[in-house]
Structure 1
Amino acid sequence: MSVEPLAPATPSPTATPSKSTRGNFIKEVGQTGRLVDGGGKPTVNFTVNSITPDAPCTGPYPTPVVNGHIVVLDVSVETFPELADPNGGYSEFDLSASMFKFIGTNGTTFNGDLNTQAAYMCLADGESISQNGRGIGPGEKVTGKVALDVPEAHGTLMFHTYLTSSSTGWEWTF
């Protein structure tokens, strides 16, 4: 009796997430970003479902745009029980306008504030994912919007959260 040797398993290539020259994970609209704990378990998944430049404001008291354009992100967030910090640290995930930076089409990072009064007042409370500093706690699923006041209708948005111990963040070009 002869036995045919098994062909060695060919490892499937693991997709390495692309990073920008700034060290951020490059994401397309609809791709999920993820935070994990020290053991590699997911703590937060978040997805930018759409980016709408020059979006109309739906809040009851819209104010004039300061930087030039309102951009609205439609986002989905899922947090896991592992987000809870037993040592009394951060146990909430926040996705607010103050956590974003804007890079113009010429490659220059905008030094201004994207979280202007116009951005803050643009959305109705029920639409905003993080109105009045409310974070998303462990074991929650949330959808909503974030309004940003940016100087151009197109460019790159960078997001950094205080939950990461490094300078790595995520970015989307639109």
Structure 2
Amino acid sequence: MKKVGELGAAGDSNGDRSFEFTVTEVDTSVKCGNPYARKPEGKLIAIKITAKTTKNVSLDTLGSDEIWFTQDWKAIDKNGETAGWDPDSTDAVYNCEVKPSLMRGVGPSEKITGWVVLDVPDLESVIVWQPGFMVNGGWEWQL
């Protein structure tokens, strides 16, 4: 379990932290500004993320040429039940345009900052990011 502002990192077996990121803010007051978008399944939130990589990041190990923050999320509601939808891919997430989005990935020797919008069951949810390169791991935050 991470707290907002706490560093998350990944690297190789030698301890090289070639990928670091921090959730710097969580906005739970997100409103959809698009009258044509479908309503959220639950509640929209936005997560501000800052990430950086070194030139040594092993993208072969990651299974991609970039690390993406806009996918591989799940949400667990206040009763401990995993949401029955992908919180990173509902119509409201894609069509509400509530924050400057982090729609691109981060590659070697890059630093980026942006927002990821999620559709979570409730404001007491736990959100989990477990990207494909984290076979036995990932990160989670209590809203």
TM-score normalized by the length of structure 2: 0.87
Counting only pairs closer than 5 Å after superposition, residues 38-117 of structure 1 correspond to structure 2 as 38-57=13-32, 63-85=37-59, 89-96=63-70, 98-114=71-87, 115-117=89-91
Q: CA RMSD in A?
A: 2.3
2:29 corresponds to 1:29: no
Aligned equivalents of 1:82, 1:40: Cα separation in 2: 12
- Kept in 1, the 8 Å contact 2:59–2:66? The answer is no
Cα distance, 1:55–1:41 mapped onto 2, change above 3 Å: same
Q: Which residue of 139, 149, 153 maps to 2:109?
A: 139
Q: Which residue identity lines up with residue 153 of structure 1 in the other structure?
A: L
C-alpha separation between the residues in 1 aligned to 2:110 and 2:73?
22
> Which residue identity lines up with residue 108 of structure 1 in the other structure?
E
Taking structure 1 as reference, are residues 170 and 62 closer, same or farther at Cα in structure 2, changes over 3 Å only?
Answer: farther
Greater C-alpha Rg: 1
Equivalence for 2:142: 173
In the alignment, is the contact (CA less than 8 A) between 2:62 and 2:132 conserved in 1? Answer: no
Question: How far 1:49 sits from its partner (Å)?
Answer: 0.8
Distance 1:81 1:105, change over 3 A: same
Q: Any idea what the Cα deviations from partners look like across 1:26-54, whole Å, max 9, x if unmatched?
A: 10001010011232211211111111123
The code of the aligned residue for 1:109 comes to T
Distance (whole Å) between structure 1 residues aligned to residue 60 and residue 68 of structure 2 = 19
Aligned length: 142
- The letter of the residue matching 1:170 is W
- Consecutive unaligned residues of structure 2, counting only runs of 5 or more, are none
Q: TM-score w.r.t. structure 1 length?
A: 0.72
1:118-144 CA-partner distances (Å, limit 9, x unpaired): 1012336x81112xxx32111111000
2:137 partner SS: coil
In structure 2, relative to structure 1, the CA distance for the partners of 1:107 and 1:86 (3 Å cut) is closer
Secondary structure at 1:119 match in 2: helix
Deviations 1:68-92 (A, max 9, x none): 2101101111111112446894231
